[in-house]
Amino acid sequence: MTVKKYDGSAGGWGALLSTTKHLVKSENVARNMRNLLKTNQDKGFDCPGCAWGEAEERGRISFCENGAKAVNWEATSRRVTPAFLRQHPVSWLAQQSDYFLEYQGRLSHPVRYNRNTDCYEAISWQQAFALIARHLKALEHPNQAEFYTSGRASNEDAFLYQLFVRKFGTNNFPDCSNMCHEASGIGLRQSIGIGKGTVTLEDFDHADAIFVFGQNPGTNHPRMLDTLRHASRRGAAIVTFNTLKERGLERFTNPQSPGEMLTGVATQISQSYFTPKLGGDMAVVRGMVKALCAVDKIEREAGRASIFDPAFIDEHTRGVEAYLSAVEATPWEAITEQAGLSRAEIEQAADTYRQANNVIITWAMGITQHKHSVNTIQEIANLQLLFGQLGKPGAGLCPVRGHSNVQGDRTMGINEKPGADFLDKISEVFGFQPPLEHGHNTVGAIKAMLAGESKVFIGLGGNFAAATPDTSLTQQALSNCLLTVNIATKLNRTHLIPGQESLILPCLGRTDVDMQATGPQSVTVEDSFSMVHASAGVVESDTAEMRSEPAIIAGIAEATLGKAPVDWSWLIEDYDRIRVLIAEVIPGFTGVNEKIKQPGGFYLGNSAAERRWQTPSEKAQFMRHPLPQHLLPANLRELSQDPVFVLQTMRSHDQYNTTIYGFEDRYRGISGERKVLLINASDITALGMNNNDLVDVESLWPDGIERKIYGFKLVAYDIPPGNIAAYFPETNPLVAIDGKGDLSDTPTSKAIPIILMPSARKGDEINIVCS
Ligand SMILES: Nc1nc2c(c(=O)[nH]1)N[C@H]1C(S)=C(S)[C@@H](COP(=O)(O)OP(=O)(O)OC[C@H]3O[C@@H](n4cnc5c(=O)[nH]c(N)nc54)[C@H](O)[C@@H]3O)O[C@H]1N2
Ligand SMILES: Nc1nc2c(c(=O)[nH]1)N[C@H]1C(S)=C(S)[C@@H](COP(=O)(O)OP(=O)(O)OC[C@H]3O[C@@H](n4cnc5c(=O)[nH]c(N)nc54)[C@H](O)[C@@H]3O)O[C@H]1N2
Ligand SMILES: [Mo]
């Protein structure tokens, strides 16, 4: 392993070289190059990499290094065939790394686990569907099955899936969103009446300031860097709050700009870069508002206008007095202690905010995966409401979504707590009463399977066993099931934790041509900006025994329910027919089959962006919450005499969630190793340890269960004292199942209380170039 200071900008030659390296490594260079060039073009497929939107001006930047990796990873010609699976028993595969498993290629045939041979063996699609139907129909109650969704599923997949599951009789829809932006949905719905962001991509061209909280776009939303670069160049202030100094947020060279590549010109992205403590962002925003209140007071006392937007507050909001009194009651000492920033730093950020006419605030997992995430998001909304920074050009709230269609899946009804309007529509259009009782989210599903209450698990994509918290409990939960079914493109950890019976069903991916009775089909997806557009695969390869996700869902549904409430196989012949049904149920989709023909797709609309507030009071609501008492609750701190650290678990530059592409975290300068803990040098010294020492890590939770991982390397890093950063999914065994966000139930995977101990194992020689 090496740790090396990365001195370049993000993007640039490093990104281009890495893209090319990934392409050349694969077996089909020419084809992959061609694919890449079609990504996010009008007639190509939607990049499966992330949910950032497309610029109007196509080709301005239509792919990025990490999008290229995602495409290339899927479009491989390697295959996991029944012959491969016969040679490699599940117990052997389970010993291999996540990287190894997915590297074997695309799953080629439906397979069923045989307990006697410990191998997956070929089965026909018909037999697979019949087996699922038999298990589902044998359950005492539909609530005994769990239907997981990962956010790559298209709108068409998601709509059919929820229709089937609701007709079957349950709202058990655990999904990846429960681990991701759930808090954004819940927080924003209460504050502004809609659980989505309010801005469009164009708004970034009109913002004077963009505040970026808890997000690493250089790796996870590289096309966002291009947007930020444009904004920065025209003089917009970009202010970043991130526990780590992420290179992409510091400076960026666009790998698709020949000029910049030749001259090596990099654009400075962030005008100010603040490194708060993990979980300190609510205090940061509270402090900004406190600072702004002080300025406002001075202005008004001098007889000048308020710096807030009183007309907006008056016309559009409720609760401002109560909120401002909570701000007043919060002492500066509490704010600075929790934020980990000085009052002067917070005042500086507040001043930049005030200078701007139009402000956008963006955030991602650094905000949503904490205990007090909903409150933090509502605090962010409060700040924007004070200044009327909502529903005007260049301003608004922007939770940057993760998976490329995670937002669309929610729009389509993948929701364990569906709204009454949605259920009424389903009942009206399809003539059956969908279940009203709330179903299980991800944590609820794990608990139900663990308790033996849920007996069937079906995963529409994703990697449930690796992505969820408390790995060993989750794996136990899956193996308790009578049947586990995974609809997937690639072999992963979850497939190696079979229930009593188990199936893997190989599906087409975004890049593949999806040929049905009436010809090649396209699907639709929704990005972070409520834009819906079509996606059609272009790769024609050996996919004979794979099926599209809509076809697989239809097969399961028809075997289980017959032709009710719809003729499933008829729908699959032409996906326009699915979209006609979507349009009958989901607002904004009227005429979808025409609208997706327009280049760039169509805008679903957003009530808050139009200053319509779908809250009980019909106004935007200032939400008033105290700061958390302590970032690390006393009952957790008291569980150990040793120094207790707070661990955030995050992505390296070379992974897609649980998919590990390689071992290069380029912008952080870490290479060849994933079992690392980024820690402040002073903490290493205080522990009496040395840089590069190997440690074991134990997390603290008052339930008597030991959660421990072994042999992680200490790496001195620029991170606040007391905070540590490491990669997921290796660290998921540390996330206690009950360590979850208030209201959101999102695992608090950015705030895990841990202690460190010297590892029994000795460290190998490593080459540290810098600290
Ligand atoms: N290439 C690639 N692209 C992806 C993904 C991927 O794995 N690979 N995953 C997709 C998905 S599903 C998602 S949800 C997104 C995730 O996108 P991100 O949210 O960018 O993902 P993380 O790696 O979890 O990064 C969290 C960032 O927040 C910072 N942070 C952590 N805790 C705190 C905190 O308490 N306060 C502040 N201010 N900062 C904090 C971390 O230092 C890190 O920079 O990306 C999507 N796009
Ligand atoms: N500790 C910790 N845990 C986390 C997070 C964290 O930051 N820290 N982040 C959380 C977040 S934000 C998320 S979104 C979840 C992600 O959780 P998941 O969505 O469950 O996980 P992924 O790793 O994205 O799923 C990868 C698998 O999806 C399958 N796949 C890929 N493409 C397709 C396709 O087109 N169709 C189908 N059917 N299958 C496909 C492949 O088999 C691949 O192995 O993880 C969460 N877990
Ligand atoms: Mo996510």
Same domain, 571 and 434: yes
Inter-CA distances, 610 with 211, 320, 397, 617, Å: 22, 21, 13, 16
Dmax over CA atoms of the chain, in Å, equals 84
pLDDT at 29: 52
Domain that holds residue 340: 182-400
pLDDT at 18: 64
- Beta-carbon contacts of residue 704 (< 8 Å; ≥ 6 apart): none
pLDDT at 762: 55
pLDDT at 49: 76
Same domain, 577 and 650: no
Distance in angstroms (rounded) separating the CA atoms of residues 82 and 107: 9
Same domain, 580 and 638: no
Same domain, 89 and 117: yes
Distance in angstroms (rounded) separating the CA atoms of residues 200 and 358: 14
Rg (the chain; Cα; Å): 25
612 inside domain: no
CB contact at 8 A, 600 and 56: yes
Residue (of 129, 175, 144) closest to 481 by Cα position: 144
Structure-token pair, residue 528: 């972070």
List of the chain residues with pLDDT < 70: 1, 5-6, 12-43, 55-63, 256-259, 261-264, 761-771
Same domain, 107 and 157: yes
* Beta strands 519-520; 515-516: pairing state: antiparallel
Amino acid in the structure at residue 575 = Y
Same domain, 217 and 273: yes
86 inside domain: yes
302 inside domain: yes
pLDDT at 68: 82
Residue (of 18, 16, 12) closest to 665 by Cα position: 18
Amino acid in the structure at residue 543 = T
Distance in angstroms (rounded) separating the CA atoms of residues 186 and 499: 33
Query: Which of 568, 597, 626 is the last residue in one of the domains?
Result: 597
Distance in angstroms (rounded) separating the CA atoms of residues 209 and 523: 36
Distance in angstroms (rounded) separating the CA atoms of residues 650 and 627: 24
Residue 277 is classified by DSSP as: P
Pocket of ligand 2, candidates 74, 80, 150: which has the most ligand atoms within 8 Å of its Cβ, to mutate? 150
Residue (of 542, 522, 404) closest to 75 by Cα position: 542
Please report which helix (H) or strand (E) contains residue 441, including its range.
none
The total number of structural domains that make up the chain: 3
Same domain, 379 and 477: no
Distance in angstroms (rounded) separating the CA atoms of residues 551 and 516: 9
pLDDT at 44: 78
Query: Which of 597, 626, 659 is the last residue in one of the domains?
Result: 597
- Residue 116: is it exposed, middle or buried by C-beta count within 10 angstroms (0-12/13-18/19+)? exposed
Question: Which residue is closest in CA terms to ligand 1's atom 2?
Answer: 220
Question: Which residue is closest in CA terms to ligand 1's atom 4?
Answer: 220
| pLDDT per residue as tens digits for the range 392-414 | 999 999 999 999 899 999 999 99
Q: How many residues does the chain have?
A: 771
CATH number at residue 96: 3.40.50.740
Structure-token pair, residue 577: 């027919």
Q: State yes or no: cis peptide before 110, omega within 30 of 0.
A: no
Structure-token pair, residue 487: 């609809």
547 inside domain: yes
Which residues line the pocket of ligand 2, CB cutoff 6 A?
A: 102, 150-152, 176, 179-180, 365, 369, 402-403, 460-464, 467, 487-490, 492, 507, 509-510, 549, 649-650, 657-659, 728, 731-732, 735, 749
Strand partners, 767: 2
State the first-to-last Cα distance of the chain, in angstroms, to the nearest integer. Answer: 14
Query: Which of 400, 429, 452 is the last residue in one of the domains?
Result: 400
CB contact at 8 A, 255 and 221: no
67 inside domain: no
If one counts every other C-beta atom within 10 angstroms of the C-beta of residue 304, the result is 10
CATH number at residue 716: 2.40.40.20
Q: Which ligand is nearest to the CA of 365?
A: 1
Same domain, 658 and 523: no
256 inside domain: yes
763 inside domain: no
pLDDT at 590: 97
Same domain, 593 and 462: yes
* Beta strands 106-107; 79-80: pairing state: parallel
pLDDT at 767: 37
Same domain, 548 and 642: no
Same domain, 417 and 430: yes
Question: Which residue is closest in CA terms to ligand 2's atom 3?
Answer: 467
70 inside domain: no
Four-residue CA torsion sign, 576, 582, 584, 586: negative
Q: pTM for this one?
A: 0.95
- List helix spans (H) across 139-239: 155-168, 182-192, 217-220, 222-233
Same domain, 576 and 694: no
Residue given tokens 């699907």 in the structure block: 523
Which residues line the pocket of ligand 1, CB cutoff 6 A?
A: 49-50, 66, 180, 213-216, 219-221, 241-244, 246, 276, 278-279, 281, 364-366, 402-403, 648, 650-651, 655-657, 750
Q: Which ligand is nearest to the CA of 733?
A: 2
Q: Which atom of ligand 1 is nearest to the CA of 276?
A: 38
CB contact at 8 A, 132 and 458: yes
Distance in angstroms (rounded) separating the CA atoms of residues 529 and 201: 7
Structure-token pair, residue 570: 């008829």
CATH number at residue 188: 3.40.228.10
